[in-house]
Structure 1
Amino acid sequence: MGKPNIGFVVGSASASSINRQLAQGLMKLIAPEANASLIEIAHLPLYNRDDDAAYPAVFQALKDQVKAQDGIVFVTPEQNRSVPALLKNALDAGSRPYGQGAWNGIPAAVIGTSPGAAATAMAQQHLRNILVFLDMPVMAQPEGFIRWSDGLIDAQGEIGEASRKFLQGYMSQFLAWVQVHRKA
């Protein structure tokens, strides 16, 4: 098999998002071993089940992009102790109409960063619950509660030295997870 396709979904629409910066740094870490791409979700309209009969093209495009992945890394901020509405909307849109979900069976990892000591622990737990329902095998260990600090990402967008070993190990473990749980 060739290099796996790994999609990164960032739960923030902010151009200066620290979670987007983390995702881009992680993408660079795995570049030699995988084809990494961002799955953009900020442009999606709100999901409405009334649209299930004539599914919107923008949602179908999301589903097509998701289905092309061998694994997906969710990089989420925490808002009000849970996942951001932007991310929940994308998960809902990609899982509908009922029985036609795009997420099913795709191995996933959950990680996020925040300046706070608990990082994004609550959002990650809520996200894991959602992903299990969507039938995504979610990597349990190592967990990725990353406290944002100066130097986490350097001026070139690379993971800084203090965090490189852990995050390289995290991504290596995820790539191994994808190989074991690769969707047929």
Structure 2
Amino acid sequence: MSKYNQSYVITMQDIVREGDDILREKMPELSLPPTEEDKQELLCMLQYLKNSQDPSLAKKYKLRPGVGISANQIGLNKRMFAAFIKGENGNNFEHMLINPKIISHSASMIYLPDSEGCLSIDRPVIGYVPRFKRITVKAYDINGKEVKIKLKDYEAIIFQHEIDHLNGILFPDHINSTNPFQLPDMDINPL
């Protein structure tokens, strides 16, 4: 039985760091419908993100803020992730997805001018990470129901970052190694 359930609080001690083999493995798809254990793990991951964005809880538990977390980042060999952005008026961006896959994307690309960050990477990483501006993702929700989600801009970047994790890819892999601020020769703009 997994330790990750609704009463467990994920802290930075649970986060797998760069150099650990599981971060470079392609995560296997989950059998559907998801088990109760899968659901509890996803809810626990989502709660980490909520806690990490709450200043008092982040301070209490010494959490780095995050907007996305994949199962392999807490040592689980499962193809699932959670994403959360606190919105205005309680209009939050919140997803817990199983077996996500990008089924279409725009030709145009974007990047974050300050680079990306990652709970699993403790060192500073500079450089542009090119991402698709718009994507459509097919996945299954926490109840095993198929969903298609259209995303753009920051939300699209989060999903691409987390799906990369599930494929054993870390965001520095996308940065040009000889010139970190060189962008691909295509339609690409800062977010």
Shared fold (TM-score greater than 0.5)? no
TM-score by length of 1: 0.25
Which has more helix, going by share of residues?
1
